[in-house]
């Protein structure tokens, strides 16, 4: 498990997202209850612009660990990318409820407010 996780992370760091997806798929196959495997694979999918599989893996991460604030953040980022800013803002707020010092969630929510989205949320 540790080796597959390391290989997946190394491939992502090298920008080899297809390779990362392969390693992380092997990891999720061998350790289906390990939430971080799904979370990292969701990141690789997102970086490959495969938003549907990214959402699926983020939802699986949250099914295994409902308070995984980085998975919630990731889901918010995907929704923002897909033009679903209201849902993204709700999720960014949920991240901040779990981790008030999550700098990226704070910045993302402020950006939505600057863009006028926050006034209607």
pTM of the model: 0.91
What is the spatial distance between Cα 7 and Cα 90, in angstroms, rounded to a whole number?
Answer: 34
pLDDT above 90 for 108: yes
pLDDT in the model for residue 118: 53
What does the alpha-carbon distance between residue 12 and residue 58 come to, in Å, rounded to a whole number? 17
Class of domain 1-54: mainly alpha
Contact status, residue 39 vs residue 57, Cβ threshold 8 Å = yes
pLDDT of 14 higher than 80: yes
- Every domain range in the chain assigned CATH 1.25.40: 1-54
- Note whether 57 and 37 are within 8 A (CB): no
User: Which of 118, 47, 37, 36 has its CA nearest to residue 77?
Assistant: 47
Tens of pLDDT, residue by residue over 43-67, are 999 999 999 999 999 999 999 999 9
pLDDT at 115: 82
CA-to-CA dists, residue 94 to 18, 48, 70, angstroms: 31, 26, 11
∠ CA 120-118-85, nearest 5°, is 90
């Amino acid at each position: 498990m540790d080796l597959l996780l390391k290989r997946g992370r190394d491939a992502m760091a090298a920008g080899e997202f297809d390779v990362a997806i392969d390693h992380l798929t092997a990891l999720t196959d061998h350790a289906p209850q390990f939430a971080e495997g799904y979370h990292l694979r969701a990141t690789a999918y997102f970086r490959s612009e495969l938003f549907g599989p990214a959402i699926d893996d983020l939802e699986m991460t949250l099914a295994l660990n409902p308070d995984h604030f980085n998975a919630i953040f990731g889901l918010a980022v995907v929704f923002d990318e897909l033009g679903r800013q209201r849902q993204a803002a709700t999720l960014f707020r949920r991240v901040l409820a779990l981790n008030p010092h999550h700098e990226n969630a704070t910045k993302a929510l402020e950006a939505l407010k600057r863009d006028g989205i926050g006034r209607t949320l």
